[in-house]
Amino acid sequence: MSYRTLAQRVAATAERLGPVRRLVLLAGANRPDALVVHLAALASGHPVLLVPGDSDSTIDALTAAYDPDVVARADRRGVWSLDERRRGSAHTLHPDLALLLSTSGSTGSPKLVRLSHENVQANAESIATYLGISDTDRAATTLPPHYCYGLSVIHSHLVRGAGLILTDRSVSDPAFWEEFRTARGTSLAGVPYTFDLLDRVGFARMDLPHLLRVTQAGGRLAPERVARYAELGRRSGWELFVMYGQTEATARMAYLPPHLAAKRPEAVGVPIPGGSFRLAPAEGNGHGPETGELVYSGPNVMLGYAETPADLALGRTVRELHTGDLARRAPDGLYEIVGRRSRFAKILGLRIDPQRVETLLEEHGVTAYCSGDGDALAVAAVGSGEDEAQLRRLVAEGCGLPARAVRVRALAELPRLATGKPDYEAVRRLTRPVPEERPFPAGNVRDLRGLRALYAEILDRPAATVTEDSTFVGLGGDSLCYVEMSLRLEEALGVLPTDWHTRPIRELRSLATPGREADSPVGPDRSPRPPQRPRSLETGIALRAIGIVLIVGSHIPVFSLQGSAHVLIGVAGFNFARFHLTAAAHRERLRHLWRSIARIAVPSVVWITGAVVLTGLYDPANALLLNSLLDQGTERHEWHYWFVEALVYFLLVLGVLMAVPLLDRLERRHAFGVPLTLVAIGLIGRYDLLELAPARFHLGPAVVFWLFALGWAAARATSVRQRALLTATLALTTPGLFGDQPLRTALVVTGLSLLIWVPTLPSLGPLNRVAGVLASSSLYIYLTHFQVYPLLRDDFPVLALFASLAIGIGYATLATRVVRRLSRKWLGRGLQTQGSGLRLRIPNSTRK
């Protein structure tokens, strides 16, 4: 739409609104109809009460509270209408009044911010100036227009004659990025939650040739993320603007110049053009004498608040804005926010700063929202229910409060308003004691409650911590429980998408195939069931199940088909990428990885130690998983556990490397490039260019690492070209690994090619269940079968195969339960230790 066409539509709507000023309630939406009404009302002097268009309850509440003269909204069919409730106005409207915005999201609170025409114009001009917006820019509407930040994006671009990409799609929707590229988008705006979504969708790897700037406001973005995005922008050709503002200032008060974002990511920056700051004394704030309440002055400061229709007649009641934020001015002239004065809570006589608690928890790898609630501190944190007791102690010790005064609720996702800001009212509500809930029904897993119960059961999570927004990966799921979960879901819901493990439960519920809840051809009412979708089995699961059977059968031997262990090395790399290199925060990634290493290493060391002691066949180095490093010669039995050693070595080294924030950021930016580089490095070991290979060449960790890296790269490959490159590498470099064994080479190439190219294989329900048990127990079958099959192989080789599988499955069940308990105890001690450190960081002044 051209500006000429827009102006014509605005003029027509303004004419319909008429010359008599009326209060217009506008259900905001990122669509042309809503924008036209908004601009028409502003242009002809009608005050606009802008409310969220997707919240009927808020529209109804504010309609009842303010009795608007005109209501502009879309009906249930999406048809836009102007409901003119009266020809004149029921209100006395101050001549300066232009816009009414809420500061409380979608709560329907009658407290509104009164903004003038000067406020709106001045703030739009100021933002356009420091962002350098020109008429060639095109901004996407990534935020709702009833939110002051989203509205400021619209105003600041229109005031420069720039373009708007009106869309209500989320940045997590692939279609959004198609729109953005097609329209040659130059500007992207987001709140902290938006950046969480950008991490999840691989924003760092996107090709956005026209992007010029990314802006961030709406809450504090962690300094390390600011620095990371600033560096990403520098390399990609766009600038990051971190901004600070409030609705009471029509949106913006400060911004951090892009060239300082990487150096000073903790600062909010300098006042916007036309504005100024001063620090008002704030005694007893606990942050030092150089700190005060940040007070802002400028032409964008609101007229004042409105709480009833009578307030619409008021003129200016506010001259400067007391932000409620505690700040200091650094020697370089940049302002830094250190706390929130208005959020201070007095609990049991102690003055607590919830924002400071959030910051300190963040330093310990815990993302949380905190709020005072009477005589208790309410804390909602990302995590699992098993962490709640430790987190409560951590916070209590840090704040000097008794544990009974701290209420903690661990959640998969923190509560946010529609704008993406923290929902502190929900934090207080969610943490309040509730009557003990009955467990979820175990029967029908096709509804949300049943799905949540299934997740809680398989992932061993308290039921209360599993919400409809939880994901398998977000709840700490890994390859050891992935198999059972995927098969149970596939059985209940039908064919699953390949990315089901990253999708929230509510999305999976919508995939349910009618008639899946039983194998009977008729439903409960005896009517025929709809036809069921054919079953399928993920290729990775199939390879693990088939591979372990081939390994055990070839060792007995019932048959001779070798090479499956090398295929499983590639599958391990594939799963490493899927379950450990997620979009989670850096600390959460590491925590998840070390837990998985423990779940592999501990049962392995226990079993192998028993084998060393009881059989006398193995050197003690095997019990410590050191045989590959010490090279115990060519004896076959000494190399029985090379696979376990290699897997643990790979994960340990990668865990250490990923602990370096720079390397973690590098992997996130180059998800395919990093493992491809590791494949190249691994080929040095594959051809033993450094002469580090052991006597049994093809079993050395350095020799087979390239297969692990190739599986990792396969999980990250997103195009035919990338998959073809991996397949060619596999086909060219596998020959010669096993000497003159073409069948073994062919098996490895075939198995890993399937992993690269074929996400799922056709299957049957009973076959899926068998494959699931074998795949989830494959590591433990590998561990135990060396001590089982020798007892039976001479007389009953087939029985030796089945006995080896059965014993391994039994050990898997036992080991999983024991390791889970041990990891919980270890985590608890770690959090208690962290609590002591946290307590030392709290200044004494907060304990008065």
- Supply the pLDDT for residue 434: 53
For tokens 């991996």, what's the residue? 726
State whether 359 and 324 are in the same domain: no
- Supply the pLDDT for residue 8: 97
**pLDDT bracket for residue 738 (50, 70, 90):** very high
In a 10 Å sphere around its CB, with 0-12 CB exposed, 13-18 middle and 19+ buried, how is residue 439 labelled? exposed
**pLDDT bracket for residue 826 (50, 70, 90):** very low
Output 81 or 104, whichever has higher pLDDT: 81
Tell me: pLDDT of 105 over 70.
no
Q: 325 forms bridges with which residues in the sheet?
A: 340
Tell me: pLDDT of 791 over 80.
yes
State whether 276 and 352 are in the same domain: no
Could you tell me if 452 and 468 are in contact, meaning their C-beta atoms sit under 8 angstroms apart? yes
In a domain, 37, yes or no: no
CATH number at residue 294: 3.40.50.12780
| Mean pLDDT value across residues 157-182 | 94
Contacts of 361 (CB under 8 A, 6+ apart): 367, 368, 370, 379, 381, 391, 394, 395
Taking only the tens place, the pLDDT of each residue in 306-327 is 999 999 999 999 999 999 888 9
For tokens 């042309």, what's the residue? 32
**pLDDT bracket for residue 527 (50, 70, 90):** very low
Between vectors from CA 291 to CA 288 and to CA 296, what angle results, nearest 5°?
170
- Supply the pLDDT for residue 342: 61
- Supply the pLDDT for residue 38: 97
- Supply the pLDDT for residue 351: 60
State whether 265 and 365 are in the same domain: no
- Supply the pLDDT for residue 283: 66
Taking only the tens place, the pLDDT of each residue in 678-704 is 999 999 999 999 988 887 888 999 999
Tell me: pLDDT of 542 over 60.
yes
State whether 560 and 595 are in the same domain: yes
For tokens 């850096």, what's the residue? 586
Measuring CA to CA, how many Å separate 441 from each of 6, 131, 386, 456, 457? Answer: 55, 54, 21, 12, 11
In a domain, 514, yes or no: no
**Which residues constitute the domain of residue 428?**
344-434
State whether 290 and 353 are in the same domain: no
State whether 220 and 121 are in the same domain: yes
- Supply the pLDDT for residue 518: 35
Q: Which of 511-520, 753-762, 766-775 has the lowest mean pLDDT?
A: 511-520
Q: Which of 5-14, 512-521, 552-561 has the lowest mean pLDDT?
A: 512-521
> Of 463, 479, 612, 483, which is closest to residue 542 (Cα–Cα)?
483
- Which element (helix H / strand E) includes 427? helix 424-431
- Supply the pLDDT for residue 848: 29
Taking only the tens place, the pLDDT of each residue in 362-410 is 878 888 999 887 768 899 998 876 678 888 888 887 776 777 778 999 8
Q: In 758-841, which residue ranges form alpha helices assigned H by DSSP?
A: 765-776, 778-788, 797-841
Q: Which tokens is 227 given? A: 């620095």
> Of 303, 372, 352, 324, which is closest to residue 119 (Cα–Cα)?
303
**pLDDT bracket for residue 836 (50, 70, 90):** very low
> Where does a domain end: 337, 366, 398?
337
- Supply the pLDDT for residue 494: 66
Q: Which of 163-177, 319-333, 630-644, 740-754 has the lowest mean pLDDT?
A: 630-644
State whether 331 and 384 are in the same domain: no
State whether 243 and 275 are in the same domain: yes
- Supply the pLDDT for residue 146: 92
| Mean pLDDT value across residues 244-263 | 95
Taking only the tens place, the pLDDT of each residue in 136-153 is 999 999 999 999 999 999
**pLDDT bracket for residue 839 (50, 70, 90):** very low
d(CA 475, CA 365): 16
- Supply the pLDDT for residue 136: 96
For tokens 């009842």, what's the residue? 64
- Supply the pLDDT for residue 433: 73
In a domain, 402, yes or no: yes
In a domain, 229, yes or no: yes
Q: In 717-764, which residue ranges form alpha helices assigned H by DSSP?
A: 720-733, 742-757
d(CA 390, CA 504): 26
Tell me: pLDDT of 133 over 90.
yes
- Supply the pLDDT for residue 108: 60
For tokens 């600041």, what's the residue? 156
d(CA 211, CA 199): 17
Strands of 335-340's sheet in order across = 276-280, 292-297, 321-329, 335-340
CATH number at residue 389: 3.30.300.30
- Supply the pLDDT for residue 769: 83
Taking only the tens place, the pLDDT of each residue in 263-292 is 999 999 999 999 999 999 876 555 667 889
State whether 380 and 315 are in the same domain: no
In a domain, 207, yes or no: yes
State whether 280 and 394 are in the same domain: no
**pLDDT bracket for residue 212 (50, 70, 90):** very high
Contacts of 114 (CB under 8 A, 6+ apart): 94, 97, 99, 100, 302, 303, 304, 305, 306, 311, 312, 314
- Supply the pLDDT for residue 463: 66
Taking only the tens place, the pLDDT of each residue in 567-602 is 999 999 999 998 888 767 788 788 888 888 988 999
| Whether residue 557 has a cis bond before it, omega within 30° of 0 | yes
Q: 277 forms bridges with which residues in the sheet?
A: 296
Tell me: pLDDT of 523 over 60.
no
d(CA 10, CA 27): 17
- Supply the pLDDT for residue 426: 86
Measuring CA to CA, how many Å separate 376 from each of 392, 539, 834? Answer: 12, 50, 22
In a domain, 161, yes or no: yes
State whether 365 and 328 are in the same domain: no
State whether 308 and 423 are in the same domain: no
In a domain, 39, yes or no: no
- Supply the pLDDT for residue 382: 87
**Number of independent structural domains in the chain:** 3
End-to-end Cα, the chain, rounded Å: 62
For tokens 């002097």, what's the residue? 45
d(CA 841, CA 847): 12
Taking only the tens place, the pLDDT of each residue in 621-654 is 999 999 888 865 667 788 999 999 999 999 999 9
d(CA 363, CA 368): 11
Q: Which amino acid is at 748?
A: V
> Where does a domain end: 387, 402, 434?
434
Q: Which amino acid is at 266?
A: E
For residue 435, give the DSSP letter: P
State the chain's maximal CA–CA distance in angstroms: 101
> Where does a domain end: 287, 307, 337?
337
Contacts of 720 (CB under 8 A, 6+ apart): none
- Supply the pLDDT for residue 296: 97
Q: What is the mean pLDDT of the chain?
A: 85
In a domain, 473, yes or no: no
Could you tell me if 269 and 246 are in contact, meaning their C-beta atoms sit under 8 angstroms apart? no
- Supply the pLDDT for residue 284: 57
| Mean pLDDT value across residues 489-511 | 72
